[in-house]
Structure 1
Amino acid sequence: MTLIVGVRYLFVSGAFALATERRHPGLYRGLSPQMRREIGWSLASAAIYGVPAGVLAWGWAHRGWTRVYTDIHAYPLWWWPVSALLCLFAHDTWFYWTHRWMHRPMPFRIAHAVHHASRPPTAWAAMSFHPWEALTGAVVIPALVLIVPLHWTALACVLTIMTVMGVTNHMGWEMFPRGMVEGRAGNWLITASHHQRHHQQYRCNYGLYFRVWDRLCGTDSGLGRFDRQETRSP
């Protein structure tokens, strides 16, 4: 599972890094040392993510530990999207509160500063975490599959969204159309424009998928802007 998580990271982040170079040539110019650090921390995080994932995968196959099911008719079909959304919201809730806690002085200094050392973040920064922070993220999906009945394709959908949004929210440009980002959907969904402001101001925009908790808790600071000059060498 560590190998799978690591290869998945390299493939997805690499694909979006390549797309960035084609869409915005030179955007990552001068950031090679930073990107190497991001890859190193991310592969270490992949090792940590792989341990509970591997244990639960073995337990599902041999002991029936999880609530993951393979028969699509085991639950009503309406449960498929509900279960996926429930997991995304639960993950978002966990992420918001742990992320906000990570911005307290001591946890930030000990762990979260590793992630914010990416200035600006790149497509390689999605899993660039200190091991202590990686542990807080590694337990979420394994815990959810023990509690929430999920068809395996719904779980695959959740993991895909988690992976893609983790990368695209850090790549330094907005891939979604302005009409969506600044429209009704963008009022509730987090994209690169929203997360960019977090990396600029730190004390705001803590969510992962949705802006719900940021709005409820008064930490939503709106959309950020992308200054390409920040990504170039002086």
Structure 2
Amino acid sequence: MLRFLLAQSSFNLWVIFLAENLLVTVLALLFGWLVLKLNHKPIKAASRQEVFICILTNVINTAITYAGFWLWQHGYIRFSYTLSWYIAFDFIVLFILMDLAMFLFHYAIHRSVFYKAIHKFHHHYADPIPIDLFVLHPLETVGFGSLWIVIIVLFNFNLYAVFIYLIVNVFFGIMGHLGIEPIPACIRNTMPFKYLGTSSFHHRHHLDIHHNYGFYTNIWDKLFKTYKG
């Protein structure tokens, strides 16, 4: 796959990366729709603004993907490609690092002037639907994308661990914007779910902007005293 991409022109790479991002978005929204359907939740139609911002987010994410590919192509990003237990180890490290980095970024936005200027846009949707995962202010999309680029520049991860992380990232994002909690309380209170950022955990953040800044886990909120169960 990487050899195929290396043989492509810049224009072809932009088209491929845009198609990839759009495909991920469509699959994520279909998954969200399926979960809502199985839980008999009425599915609210997205507004024109939500659709437009979702498309814009995909375009920005395409630029971030291209930037990451260019950095890899020129040796600034390095991956290992071996199939071993290091895949699991690298995934866990990447998962924790990104969770911490995004928590700090999210917390900082809420505690600064940037909230009203940038992040308040996302909080317009107090009762989110799956597409709202992709409804962010363009500058915020760039910010989260930059965090991702910085982490994979600073650390060398297994490529397969990166792919697994990207899938998990979208899964958590969609689950956090369902507007419902599909996981029963008896499961949420057991290991490891009681430490994860479940749907109700992130939904509560949309209802109360002063708590639950985490993404994948609630660990940092508990440490920084911003957790609300």
Normalised-by-shorter TM-score class: 0.7 to 0.9
Superposed CA offset, 1:79-119 (max 9, x none): 32221111111111111111112223621211111111113
In the alignment, which residue of structure 2 is the partner of 1:63?
A: 74
Superposed CA offset, 1:1-41 (max 9, x none): 2332232112212331243134324252xx542xx432322
- Superposition deviation, residue 130 in structure 1: 0.3
| 1:140 counterpart = 2:142 | no
Superposed CA offset, 1:149-191 (max 9, x none): 2222111000001111101111112233432212232321111
In the alignment, which residue of structure 2 is the partner of 1:10?
A: 26
In the alignment, which residue of structure 1 is the partner of 2:182?
A: 175
In the alignment, which residue of structure 2 is the partner of 1:82?
A: 89
Partner Cα distance (2:37, 2:182) in 1: 13
Secondary structure of the residue aligned to 1:173 is: coil
The correspondence for 1:37, drawn from 6, 27, 49, is: 49
Superposed CA offset, 1:109-152 (max 9, x none): 11111111113101111121001111111112222222222222
Task: Give the TM-score normalised by the residue count of structure 2.
Answer: 0.84
Secondary structure of the residue aligned to 2:133 is: coil
In the alignment, which residue of structure 1 is the partner of 2:62?
A: 50
Partner Cα distance (1:41, 1:132) in 2: 12
Contact preservation (8 Å) 2:122, 2:137:
yes
In the alignment, which residue of structure 1 is the partner of 2:108?
A: 101
In the alignment, which residue of structure 2 is the partner of 1:230?
A: none
Compared with structure 1, are the counterparts of its residues 198 and 25 closer, same or farther at alpha carbon in structure 2 (3 Å cutoff)? closer
Contact preservation (8 Å) 1:190, 1:210:
yes
Compared with structure 1, are the counterparts of its residues 8 and 149 closer, same or farther at alpha carbon in structure 2 (3 Å cutoff)? same
Task: Name the % identity.
Answer: 21
Contact preservation (8 Å) 1:103, 1:112:
yes
Contact preservation (8 Å) 2:54, 2:134:
yes
Partner Cα distance (2:99, 2:228) in 1: 17
What letter matches 1:132 in structure 2? L
Task: Give the TM-score normalised by the residue count of structure 1.
Answer: 0.83
* Length, aligned pairs only: 213
Partner Cα distance (1:105, 1:146) in 2: 27
5+ residue gaps, structure 1, are 223-234
In the alignment, which residue of structure 2 is the partner of 1:195?
A: 202
Partner Cα distance (1:20, 1:145) in 2: 34
The correspondence for 2:156, drawn from 149, 162, 165, is: 149
Secondary structure of the residue aligned to 1:126 is: helix
Contact preservation (8 Å) 1:45, 1:129:
yes
Secondary structure of the residue aligned to 2:179 is: coil
In the alignment, which residue of structure 2 is the partner of 1:231?
A: none
Partner Cα distance (2:213, 2:120) in 1: 15
What letter matches 2:28 in structure 1? V
| 1:115 counterpart = 2:126 | no
